[in-house]
Structure 1
Amino acid sequence: MCYSAQIHSDYRKMVRELGAVMDLDAFARLWIRENGLEHKKIPKALIDTLRPDLASEAVETMAARLDLAEQEWQQELFKQSKRKADNERKLAAKHTKTAETELGRATRKVDQLKGWIADRHRAELKPRDWQFYPQWWVPVLIREASGYVVRPMRYQLRQPGQPASSDFTRTGQMSGTYNARRDNLERYWRRQFGHTHGLMVVNTFFENVEGPDGKNMRLQFRPRTGEPMLVACLWATWTDPAGKDPDVDCFAAITDDPEPEVAAAGHDRTIINIKPEHVEAWLNPDPQNLDALYAIFDDKRHPYYEHRLAA
């Protein structure tokens, strides 16, 4: 599965090249959603780069929410700094396993909080600012009657008619519905496959694999050519059957059998990176001709995916 990826940093150029427009009203609604609470699941780069283009209400709502979040971080930083200092004094007087453990936890939390605060005010964007995870919001290219549109969508497709709890399994784990297996498209994904298709443009993706020691490793994959990937997706609009929660535009990335180098690295799936000449056909599917869509998959791009251990 594609557990995480990074939005193509120059995605606006790609938008222009594909003749698409940014749905700024949709991005503004996302900024305002739950009074800006979704900031936790929006890549920093999107918040920063879209600030000049969005309505003042959306920008002010997001800024107010981030100010509130920073106040909470500062309060927690004070608390954790005290915890750290207290345990440093305990260890100076007498070494105990408890104090050592508490010091380690407090130190990691202090570093994390300082990082969040520094990131809030950092103007220069870094590659990790474009990274997203399941349930985060991502720009997705779709086709509407008026033409190509880029709209923010949540990276986990919740099937229309299903309760919000369907995002998770009975054991409380997040379900794998942020990825759609090619061999299941005509079953679980039949209401989207051949009907509502999208593309996300990413530079790199991340996968969890088992390391030589049996422990989990996180690998970062990137095309050796350096070209951005056009990842085939399915999308839907979820409406709360109870009428309580706001609508959710959401999507899943389609995965196929792994490329040889990805399999050799220890992972069993790879996202489908379609060729630019197939964009029109993919975004304008004919539900009566699914063979043509599978043909797009069969003719996908095969760049060599280099990998390294993710930071």
Structure 2
Amino acid sequence: MCFSAQLVDAYREHCRRWNTFISLDEFKELYGSTYIDERKIPKVIDQLFADPQTENEWDIKQLIDRRNSEQAAEYEQELFKQRTRLASAERKLAEKETKSAAEVKRIASSKVDALLGKLADLRRLEPKDRDARIFPGSYAPVIVSEGGRLVVKPMRYQCRPAGKPVFYDTRYPSTYNARRDNLEGFWKGQFGYTHGLLIVKTFYENVDRDGKNVVLQFTPDDREPMLVACLWSRWSGKDGPDLLSFAAITDEPPREIAAAGHDRCIVQIRPENVGAWLNPDPSELAASYAILDDRPHPYYEHRLAA
């Protein structure tokens, strides 16, 4: 189902390769409302605006900095609270050993460590692989065709189709996965109409190992960036803010993924098919299916995720 994926490094450079434009207004809206509705934005998206060149990019950079400052202040406030609880528990334990004080100390110590880690991660400048990981509910930069040109838009990785109620997000939590065998069913409003691409270098899946869940990381042996076929939608309604969201198309897995214990695989698009995929004709769905079938077939190596 593509439980998680890792975006390619230097995403902006890959976008330049495809001569794409970044939808600055929509990124500005994303960051402007982030702190209010707690949208999950991977650190790698922040890096798209680390070196702003235009006034709009500077505006977005300032929104990112403000968001990080507000988040740091929230962490520090909670850190003070937990350190106070920890000190109080330690004083009580110094006077008399009690089970309740020991439990308060254990919980407060754990929370202090977690908050210190979050603060360090927020302030960290050197990149790490986890900065580029997306999960259902995270935002990601998706390439679409708009007005005759390719555009990068920020979208949530869990699609809420236009016209559907907000509760679809919880009733159908797997709508980050658009099964190929259901494209003309559940996804009929998007397939043939709103196609997108996500550029990733590896993906992760949950599999069963002797009754225990483990996460495997799958990477193509050619190490080429994967152009993942997506469907997307623009949702508007009275019950929430406007939402851009997407799902990755998945199909039956190649033999090596099936042998590793997983039953789905994301579908790649060949570079020469990008234009046709992003500009579909709803009266010619066979052409879109043909693009999905004409996918690259690398060998997917796997290992236990770190």
What TM-score do the two structures reach when normalised by structure 2?
Answer: 0.90
Distance 1:293 1:122, change over 3 A: same
Give secondary structure in 1 for the equivalent of 2:241: coil
In the TM superposition, what is the alpha-carbon distance from 1:264 to its structure 2 partner? 1.5
* Counterpart contact for 2:49–2:57, Cα < 8 Å: no
* Counterpart contact for 2:3–2:136, Cα < 8 Å: yes
Distance 1:268 1:114, change over 3 A: same
**What does 1:136-147 align with in structure 2 at a 5 Å threshold?**
136-147=138-149
Residue 229 (structure 1) aligned to one of 226, 232, 237: 226
Mean alpha-carbon deviation: is it higher for 10-19 or for 144-153? 10-19
Residue 247 (structure 1) aligned to one of 228, 242, 249: 242
- Aligned residue number for residue 20 of structure 1: 20
* Counterpart contact for 1:201–1:229, Cα < 8 Å: yes
Task: Provide Cα deviations, 1:3-44, integer angstroms capped at 9, x if missing partner.
Answer: 11111112222212212111122211111125x446651111
One-letter code of the match for 2:300?
Y
Task: Provide Cα deviations, 1:166-218, integer angstroms capped at 9, x if missing partner.
Answer: 1012xxxx611111000000011011101110000011111111222x12212
Aligned mates of 2:177, 2:224 — CA distance in 1: 22
One-letter code of the match for 1:226?
R
* Counterpart contact for 1:30–1:38, Cα < 8 Å: no
One-letter code of the match for 2:232?
W
**What does 1:110-121 align with in structure 2 at a 5 Å threshold?**
110-121=112-123
What is the aligned-residue RMSD (CA, Å)?
Answer: 2.4
Distance 1:91 1:10, change over 3 A: same
Distance 1:197 1:71, change over 3 A: same
Residue 159 (structure 2) aligned to one of 140, 157, 160: 157
One-letter code of the match for 1:252?
A
Task: Provide Cα deviations, 1:117-176, integer angstroms capped at 9, x if missing partner.
Answer: 11121111111111111121110011112311111111111111111111012xxxx611
- 1:197 maps onto 2:195 in alignment: yes
* Counterpart contact for 2:166–2:240, Cα < 8 Å: no
- Aligned residue number for residue 300 of structure 2: 305
- Aligned residue number for residue 51 of structure 2: 52
Aligned mates of 1:179, 1:203 — CA distance in 2: 18
Give secondary structure in 1 for the equivalent of 2:116: helix
Aligned mates of 1:158, 1:59 — CA distance in 2: 28
Aligned mates of 1:91, 1:308 — CA distance in 2: 45
In the TM superposition, what is the alpha-carbon distance from 1:58 to its structure 2 partner? 3.5
- Aligned residue number for residue 130 of structure 1: 132
Query: How many corresponding residue pairs?
Result: 303
Q: Which runs of 5+ in 1 are unaligned?
A: none
Distance 1:11 1:48, change over 3 A: closer
- Aligned residue number for residue 73 of structure 1: 75
Aligned mates of 2:147, 2:99 — CA distance in 1: 65
* Counterpart contact for 1:31–1:39, Cα < 8 Å: no
Mean alpha-carbon deviation: is it higher for 140-149 or for 84-93? 84-93
In the TM superposition, what is the alpha-carbon distance from 1:232 to its structure 2 partner? 0.2
- Identity in percent: 50
* Counterpart contact for 2:40–2:137, Cα < 8 Å: yes
- 1:180 maps onto 2:178 in alignment: yes
- Aligned residue number for residue 206 of structure 1: 204
- Aligned residue number for residue 8 of structure 1: 8
Aligned mates of 1:74, 1:181 — CA distance in 2: 43
Give secondary structure in 1 for the equivalent of 2:240: coil
**What does 1:253-292 align with in structure 2 at a 5 Å threshold?**
253-292=248-287
Aligned mates of 2:134, 2:113 — CA distance in 1: 21
Aligned mates of 2:159, 2:76 — CA distance in 1: 35
Mean alpha-carbon deviation: is it higher for 63-72 or for 91-100? 91-100
Q: Which runs of 5+ in 2 are unaligned?
A: none
In the TM superposition, what is the alpha-carbon distance from 1:292 to its structure 2 partner? 1.9
One-letter code of the match for 1:52?
D
One-letter code of the match for 2:135?
Y
In the TM superposition, what is the alpha-carbon distance from 1:266 to its structure 2 partner? 1.4
* Counterpart contact for 2:49–2:60, Cα < 8 Å: no
Task: Provide Cα deviations, 1:24-71, integer angstroms capped at 9, x if missing partner.
Answer: 22211111125x446651111211331433444433333223222212
Aligned mates of 1:40, 1:157 — CA distance in 2: 14
